Amino acid sequence: MFNRYKCITSSNNVLGSLTPDQFLSKIKSGDEHLEKILKARQVYRTDSSEYNNIKVTQLPCYTLNFTFEGVRNNCSIIASTGHIYIDLDNQREIDLQHPLIYASWMSLSDNGRGILVKVDNVNPENFKDVYSDISKQLGIKADKRACKPTQPNVLSYDPQVYTNQNSLTYKAIDKEEIPHYNTINKEIDTIGTVVGTNFGNIRFDNLDELIENIEFNGDVLYDYRTKVKYASVFIKTSRINRGERNDTICGYAYQLRALNLGIKYQDLYNVLKDINSKYCHPPLPLYKIHSITKGVMNVVDIKPKLNKERRFVYNPDYDLTPTEKRQLNIKVLSKDREKDSKRKIEKTIDDWDFEKEGKITQKGLAKISGKNIKTIQKYYHLFKSHIQILNLEFKNG
């Protein structure tokens, strides 16, 4: 769901929500605001003051990256919407056939584009990396100013809004090295593969080894408090072109067999054939897939590479959806951020230089601690009595 707000200048409080289809329908029709949108386009190049007035005060806006609990700020994030919004200025023409593009429409000015991509495993911590990675994959120079989890998007109008219900989903993972035995030198952007769901009991990671010795005691989530490494099989691109196909398939095959030492020749071949047909452009000849499979099956003493890391693992007794897992992660990370903010404020108060800074104020705390003034205001009541005593002592010399 996308959250809705009155306008840019009144976008603190969430007024409601709507589905992606409802949002795109409003883009297609302009809704009851069509006249104002067309007026904004008319004055865009001749009267910037009037254009900005319409943009920030007269049109509703929406947050397309995350949903919020009542208020639009980083501390109120509930979960990813399952989409990411990419803002493109001063460029109208793009490759709409790119498999990552779920939807695209002309911007309010009619001089740029809004782009929606379906995503998985995106959170406030990796948002900027994902925004940058997707922009690279689309071959565009996205507006870096719009690279914010809280970014609002003003209602636009495009009767030809593009949609692709079968677009690929960007699977966000942590940055890491090139997959095991992959000798490609250039860095490749990451889209995970869910091909493992089609092949029974084959392991596509060794998370079970992380989980087997954990006592969950009924808890849904276990927090390692730091990121621990594990092995995973994945493809680091949505399109494997000539010159990359053999190395990429080999790297995938080695890691897959290392995680499944008892895998049969035919099972490994079937997985590689599936990867080849889905990701290689053009696909390798099947005799080469057979050759890669045979070579990998003949390797002795093969060990998986610990090429991924994670902080949280989940109790296998619970059947959690990806959205539920993200929500659990965000709650823990939010609590961590709260604790960190409180510790930072407390340390700033304890280290306060009264001779240099004068009495302790909220603005002063924000300046010295580097925390946002809203964060200071949120936790100020916890330290107010102590601050009053310190300020009084300073005043009385």
Question: Is residue 214 within 8 Å of residue 253, measured between CB atoms?
Answer: no
Query: Sorting pLDDT into bands at 50, 70 and 90, what band is 393?
Result: confident
- Stretch 310-335: mean pLDDT: 87
8 is a domain residue = yes
Give the pLDDT of residue 29.
86
Q: What is the mean pLDDT of residues 83-88?
A: 91
Q: Is position 168 within any domain? A: no
Burial class (CB in 10 A: 0-12, 13-18, 19+), 390: middle
Asked whether residue 265 carries a pLDDT value surpassing 60, the answer given is: yes
Residues 120 and 228 in one domain: no
Q: Span 94-115, mean pLDDT?
A: 88
Q: What is the pTM of this model?
A: 0.46
Average pLDDT of the residues in 20-24: 92
Which pLDDT band, with edges at 50, 70 and 90, does 59 fall under? very high
Q: Are residues 331 and 305 in the same domain?
A: no
> Which is more confident, 206 or 180?
206
**In Å, what is the CA distance from 253 to each residue of 151, 200, 291, 303, 383?**
40, 17, 11, 12, 57
Rounded to the nearest integer, the mean pLDDT of the chain is: 85
Examine the domain organization and report whether 184 and 147 are in the same domain.
Answer: no
Domain annotation covers residue 114: yes
Residue 351 placed within a domain: yes
Q: Is residue 298 part of a domain?
A: yes
**196: pLDDT strictly greater than 50:** no
Q: How far apart are the C-alpha atoms of 207 and 229, rounded to whole Å?
A: 10
Q: According to the model, what pLDDT value does residue 173 have?
A: 62
Residue 277 dihedral angles phi and psi, to the nearest 5°: -70, -30
Q: Are residue 188 and residue 94 in the same domain, yes or no?
A: no
Q: What is the pLDDT of residues 215-228, one digit of tens each?
A: 888 888 888 888 89
Q: Are residues 20 and 149 in the same domain?
A: yes
Band the pLDDT of 137: cuts 50, 70, 90. confident
Q: Which has the closest alpha carbon to 82: 172, 146, 162, 155?
A: 172
Same-domain status, 124 and 105: yes
Q: How is residue 113 written in tokens?
A: 């584009």
Look at residue 370 and tell me if it is in a domain.
Answer: yes
The more confident residue out of 164 and 193 is 164
239 and 212 fall within a common domain: yes
Give CA–CA dist 290/272, Å, rounded: 9
pLDDT of the residue at 15: 92
In this prediction, residue 182 carries a pLDDT of 32
The residue segments making up the domain with residue 265 are: 173-314
CA–CA distance, 254 with 193 (Å, rounded to integer): 16
In this predicted model, what pLDDT tens digit does every residue of 341-365 receive, in sequence order? 999 999 999 999 998 989 999 999 9
Percent of the chain with pLDDT over 90: 32
pLDDT for the residue numbered 190: 33
**Domain-embedded: residue 90:** yes
Question: What's the CA angle centered on 312, arms 195 and 303, to 5 degrees?
Answer: 55
Cα–Cα nearest to 216, from 294, 287, 315, 119: 315
Q: What is the distance between the alpha carbons of residues 250 and 245, in angstroms, rounded to a whole number?
A: 8
User: Structural domain tally of the chain?
Assistant: 3
DSSP tag of 7: B
Q: Which residue has the tokens 């610990």?
A: 306
Domain boundary among 163, 192, 214: 163
Give me the phi and psi of 109, to 5 degrees please: -75, -15
Q: Are residues 289 and 362 in the same domain?
A: no
State the distance between the two ends of the chain, measured CA to CA, in whole angstroms.
56
User: Where a domain ends, among 163, 184, 202?
Assistant: 163
pLDDT at 199: 52
The reply to whether 212 and 113 lie within a common domain is no
pLDDT digits (tens, 9 = 90+) for 25-37: 999 888 888 999 9
Q: Among 298, 314, 330, identify where a domain stops.
A: 314
Has residue 64 been placed in a domain? Answer: yes
For residues 322 and 372, what is the distance between their CA atoms, to the nearest angstrom?
A: 31
| Residue 381: Cβ within 10 Å count | 8
Q: Do 24 and 155 have their domain in common?
A: yes
What the block records as the tokens of 166 is: 């079968």
**Predicted local distance difference test score (pLDDT) of residue 331:** 87
Indicate if the pLDDT at residue 128 is higher than 90. no
Contact 249, 275 (CB under 8 A): yes
Read off the pLDDT of each residue in 293-299 and give the average, rounded to a whole number: 90
Give the pLDDT mean for 146-158.
90
One domain for residues 134 and 185: no
The whole-number average pLDDT for the span 138-160 is 88
Is a pLDDT exceeding 50 seen at residue 290? yes
Domain match, 121 and 265 both:
no
Q: At residue 141, does pLDDT exceed 60?
A: yes
